[in-house]
Structure 1
Amino acid sequence: MKAFIIDHYKSKDGGRIAEMPEPELHDEEVLVKVRAAGVNLLDVKIRDGEFKLILPYRLPLILGNDVAGVIVRAGSRVQGFKVGDEVYARPDKDRIGTFAEFIAVNEADLAIKPLALTMEEAAAVPLVALTAWQALVEIAELKKGQKVFIQAGSGGVGTIAIQLAKHLGAIVATTTSTANIDWVKQLGANIVIDYKKEDFEAKLQNYDVVLNSQDAKTLEKSLRVLKPGGKLISISGPPDPAFAKEIGAGWLVKLVMSILSYRIRKKAKGHGISYSFLFMRASGSQLKEITSLINSGIIRPVMDKVFPFESTKEAMAYVENGRAKGKVVVKVS
């Protein structure tokens, strides 16, 4: 099968399309013919080796963390899905590789594709929607009337997180560029800060939750907009000891993560705030909840561009430059 692979981390060619063997199918997995695959900043970071300490992939590696497609084969223990089902998923972190003609996915990570979405639209959903769900529903336990600050409102995670937070009844603040202010308001943001002209720290106070996706400087500034008892959730790091425990890391990795996050954890504790690092996990059951919200018209994916499979490298470069408005997708077949 054709697949987009990297032979080495930080390789000069940025990845290439090559012939690879079809994935081996385990009893609890289905083989999905990939129609479309979402492109995420995570793919860029994996390509550049930023996660090799916690995600020790074997090279050459097929990239890709979002998929929409059709089941063409099912393992002997699969019960909830059948050949011909149109499905979508964020495969488990140990079984990525959606930039390919086929991928094997555990049925526990799958959901039936939302009826109203095209394959390209469906491929734009899983990783960012699961990130938003796990941050706002699972960790933050966001409630009606609470105030949440979601950074980068026009990005992939931001566009879904704003809609989800609004559905949960929260008061939503976000940052974006001048050109996108009215647009993110239409998604449900109550307060929109032009990051090129305004400092969010000067405008926001006593927030219950911050979803951080930016750099270390922004992370520390975020502490100062939260009220005591507030929750700072970061999807851009640094990873903390709780995450090391979650992935079953060895003592050395635990030590490294403890050191990397020591400063922010200490500062958060001094403000009476909890700090959590979120590296979203695959979950078919949560994706089904999200599907219901999509089918009800409560959440809609926001698409920027669709690239042909042959231009996967260009799609990743487009995501890396940080200008995407919503999600970028590769059409595979």
Structure 2
Amino acid sequence: MSQNTQIILRERPGIQGTVNPSLESGTFALQKSPIPTEKDVPDGSVLIKVRYVSIDPAMRGWLNDTRSYLPPAKIGDVFRCAALGEIVHSKSPSFTVGDPIAASTGWQQYAILPAKLVEAAPAKKGAELIDYLGVFGSSGLTAYFGLFEVAKAKQGDVVVVTGAAGSVGSIVVQLAKIKGCTVIATAGSDDKVKWLKEELGADDAFSYRSPTFFQDLRNCIVRKHKFAHCVFDNVGGAQLDLLLGCLRKHARIALCGAISDYNGVTNGLKNYLALIGQSATIQGFIVFDYADKYDAARTDFAKWLGEGKLKRNFYTREGLENAPQALIDLFSGVNKGKMVVKVA
């Protein structure tokens, strides 16, 4: 009988620990189960063949047994993830066989889900199915609402984007330019800096691996651009602490992530008093808070894709068994744009 390959959580690495990608002895384990058939699908549910799974920084937080916006991943369960696929069997009037969909299937080749937890992924002009893990998915929606609803970026603003070469940051850079903002970006290599400036339109960009990174970034924001109106932060740590001293009056910081702190001890912010002095705000947010506005954002994205104003880049690993290593690669910064694993 054909087998359904699944990757389950074997053990937690601990808040300060790193993920071990070995499927024999590491954080995750490989298991096989029979591929579900039509008779296994309950009424109101669908069977999905998974094509792509998403690799996201938030996954590191799900490994910890701590309170967050989603419950921790459970030991022994298929590891949670966003995914794209197609309907193989349907016992719901909402879907027919062959429909492209987006859902949280977990790291597996086949998944049965209630139809109410599955989203149609219809074709859009200038887009592909994989874009539902990019601009039409959580990455694009996080960028959109973080920049426009939380940071409240407007034409003429100076916007700083940290982790700007990642799946969210690369979209933020482009949205800010579409809005008519000046964009200063940070990334993890000279190659990414070049990509951000030459391909995505950032006005200035800096690699945090440069020995003069903090001095160069501060000089650019403070001296060249006379401080920042908005910060879209994906990195946290020392970068965020520096930026607290580079704010204009009434500046807005959208706190999206803190990838620099996910595998270590958070030392805290030293320059937080700048928020008082500049009457500035710092706000964390979760994209699910804006679920009732997703359609409006996707309409804008479809328009900008059709007009050629948005570029997207996917870093793709082949094979579901490589998903744990892809998570490691994400934190080492090998990707430009969205990290995905092609399942089949």
Same fold flag (TM > 0.5): yes
State the shift of 1:36 in Å.
Answer: 0.8
Aligned partner of 1:218 in structure 2 is: 239
Distance 2:5 2:280 in 1: 48
Question: One-letter code of the match for 1:226?
Answer: L
- 1:102 equivalent among 111, 120, 123: 111
Question: One-letter code of the match for 1:297?
Answer: G
Change (3 A) 1:329 1:113: farther
Matched, 1:13 2:36: no
State the shift of 1:229 in Å.
Answer: 0.9
- 2:174 equivalent among 149, 157, 163: 163
- 1:180 equivalent among 166, 176, 192: 192
Matched, 1:275 2:247: no
Change (3 A) 1:146 1:267: closer
Change (3 A) 1:292 1:82: farther
Change (3 A) 1:264 1:188: same
Uncovered stretches (5+) of structure 2, i.e. residues with no partner: 14-19, 260-266
State the shift of 1:115 in Å.
Answer: 5.0
Question: One-letter code of the match for 2:295?
Answer: S
Aligned partner of 2:122 in structure 1 is: 112
RMSD: 3.4
Aligned partner of 1:135 in structure 2 is: 146
| Structural mapping, 1:1-333, within 5 Å | 1-10=4-13, 13-19=26-32, 27=44, 31-47=47-63, 49=64, 51-56=66-71, 57-73=73-89, 76=92, 78=94, 82-88=96-102, 91=104, 97=106, 99-102=108-111, 104=113, 106=116, 110-114=120-124, 116-120=126-130, 122-125=132-135, 126-176=137-187, 177-185=189-197, 186-195=199-208, 196=210, 197-199=212-214, 200-205=217-222, 206-236=227-257, 267-281=274-288, 283=291, 284-285=294-295, 288-289=298-299, 290-333=301-344
State the shift of 1:35 in Å.
Answer: 0.9
Distance 1:146 1:191 in 2: 14
Distance 1:188 1:63 in 2: 36
State the shift of 1:130 in Å.
Answer: 1.6
Distance 1:63 1:287 in 2: 28
State the shift of 1:231 in Å.
Answer: 0.5
Higher Cα Rg: structure 1 or 2? 2
Q: Which of structures 1 and 2 has the larger relative contact order (alpha carbons within 8 angstroms, sep 6+)?
A: 1
Question: 8 Å contact 1:110–1:287 — kept in the other structure?
Answer: no
Q: What is the DSSP-based 3-state SS (H/G/I as helix, E as strand, rest coil) of the residue aligned with 1:156?
A: coil
> What do the CA deviations read for 1:193-215 (whole angstroms, capped 9, x no partner)?
23313321222032111011113
Change (3 A) 1:274 1:261: farther
Change (3 A) 1:237 1:269: farther
> What do the CA deviations read for 1:198-247 (whole angstroms, capped 9, x no partner)?
32122203211101111322222212222111101112259xxxxxxxxx
Distance 1:171 1:70 in 2: 40
Change (3 A) 1:118 1:175: same
Distance 1:187 1:155 in 2: 12
Question: 8 Å contact 2:231–2:253 — kept in the other structure?
Answer: yes
State the shift of 1:272 in Å.
Answer: 0.7
Distance 2:275 2:182 in 1: 22
Name the TM-score, length of structure 1 as normaliser: 0.77
Change (3 A) 1:67 1:192: same
Name the TM-score, length of structure 2 as normaliser: 0.74
- Number of residue pairs matched? 303
Question: One-letter code of the match for 2:213?
Answer: E
Question: One-letter code of the match for 1:8?
Answer: E
Change (3 A) 1:207 1:183: same
Distance 2:191 2:9 in 1: 35
State the shift of 1:273 in Å.
Answer: 0.6
> What do the CA deviations read for 1:65-124 (whole angstroms, capped 9, x no partner)?
33222234556474xx554332345x4xxxx62544226364685542545445445434
